[in-house]
């Protein structure tokens, strides 16, 4: 639209079109002309703002914000007094109300009492703030007194240097055995557990007292030596030593060889 096409309004025409302008019911060309006049003329600009503010104020007054006004509560309590709630009942239902578990019929009676009873009206807010205070209290903690850890460790494991207390081999094995009880809860695995247990017992008999394998090698070495000596005696005919007699029963082959010598 060119400047020449613009519609020029007088102040009296602006005032006549003002309400329609605010209602946005003017055709486009006239709407723009009203807006342009408001920008050019400071008196009409002020008038436009005043009318806008007055309309806004009227709108706010006509819409009450409270859902349950004092007047409504009074009307209901006077027309249906049998539905009024006592202070005792009001307190009994307070937590259910706050938790949102109060049935609709009780809910409205409860709210009505909260609005009308001066003694009870602040109580729900105070309870909510009290719960919030408890929550704040929970978030703050006292530090544990100095030395409490040491006292507990001394009273339970008998030392304050807990890290130096190491698990013994036997207690570790006992805990390992305890762990074996888990698969046994499945019946099919019971034989496996028994085999493991048997293997453990055999193993525990062959290792030496300090838990090493050295004893096993030593023992097998001695046995091999004895077997070799007995074989040698059988072949070369020398009598076994007293020590060998006391420690080891002769093997079957020895008697056969003795008979052959005779």
Binding letters toward other proteins, positions 157-186, x by CB under 8 A:
x-x-xxxxxxxx--xx-xx--xx-------
Asked whether position 19 contacts other proteins by CB under 8 A, the answer is no
How far, in Å, CA of 121 to CA of 112, rounded?
Answer: 10
Q: Phi and psi for 210 in degrees, rounded to 5?
A: -85, 10
Task: Quote the Cα angle for 31-36-40, to 5°.
Answer: 150
Please state the closest distance from residue 159 (CB atom) to other proteins, in A. 7
Please state the closest distance from residue 172 (CB atom) to other proteins, in A. 5
With a CB cutoff of 8 Å and minimum separation 6, the contacts of 73 are 111, 112, 115, 116
State both tokens at 223.
């046995």
Beta carbons within 10 angstroms of residue 14's beta carbon? 22
Q: Is 165 or 216 the residue whose CB approaches other proteins more closely?
A: 165
Spatial CA neighbour of 240 closest among 255, 259, 221:
255
How far, in Å, CA of 219 to CA of 231, rounded?
Answer: 19
Q: Is 174 or 251 the residue whose CB approaches other proteins more closely?
A: 174
Q: Which of 11, 75, 152, 223 binds other proteins (CB under 8 A)?
A: 152
Q: Which of 16, 80, 87, 125 binds other proteins (CB under 8 A)?
A: 125
Asked whether position 204 contacts other proteins by CB under 8 A, the answer is no
Size of the site for other proteins (CB under 8 A): 49
Asked whether position 87 contacts other proteins by CB under 8 A, the answer is no
Residues lying near other proteins in the complex (CB under 8 A) are found at 91-92, 94-96, 122-123, 125-127, 129-131, 133-145, 148-149, 151-153, 155-157, 159, 161-168, 171-172, 174-175, 178-179
């Amino acid at each position: 639209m060119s400047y020449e096409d613009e519609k020029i309004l007088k102040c009296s025409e602006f005032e006549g079109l003002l309400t329609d302008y605010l209602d946005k019911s003017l055709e486009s060309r006239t709407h723009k002309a009203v807006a342009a006049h408001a920008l050019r003329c400071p008196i009409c600009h002020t008038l436009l703002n005043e009318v806008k503010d007055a309309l806004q104020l009227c709108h706010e007054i006509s819409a009450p914000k409270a859902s349950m006004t004092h007047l409504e509560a009074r009307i209901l309590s006077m027309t249906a007094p049998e539905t009024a709630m006592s202070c005792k009942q009001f307190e009994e239902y307070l937590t259910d109300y706050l938790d949102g578990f109060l049935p609709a019929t009780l809910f409205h009676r409860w709210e009505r009492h909260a609005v009308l009873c001066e003694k009870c009206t602040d109580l729900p807010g105070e309870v909510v703030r009290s719960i919030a205070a408890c929550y704040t209290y929970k978030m703050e903690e006292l530090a544990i007194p100095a030395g409490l850890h040491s006292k507990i460790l001394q009273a339970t494991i008998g030392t304050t240097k807990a890290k130096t207390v190491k698990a013994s081999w036997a207690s570790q094995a006992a805990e390992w055995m305890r762990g074996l009880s888990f698969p046994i809860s499945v019946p099919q695995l019971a034989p496996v557990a028994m085999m493991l247990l048997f293997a453990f017992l055999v193993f525990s008999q062959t290792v030496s007292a300090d838990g090493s394998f050295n004893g096993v090698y030593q023992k097998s070495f001695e046995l091999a030596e004895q077997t070799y000596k007995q074989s040698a005696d059988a072949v070369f005919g020398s009598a076994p030593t007293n020590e060998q007699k006391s420690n080891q029963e002769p093997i079957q082959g020895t008697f056969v060889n003795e008979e052959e010598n005779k």
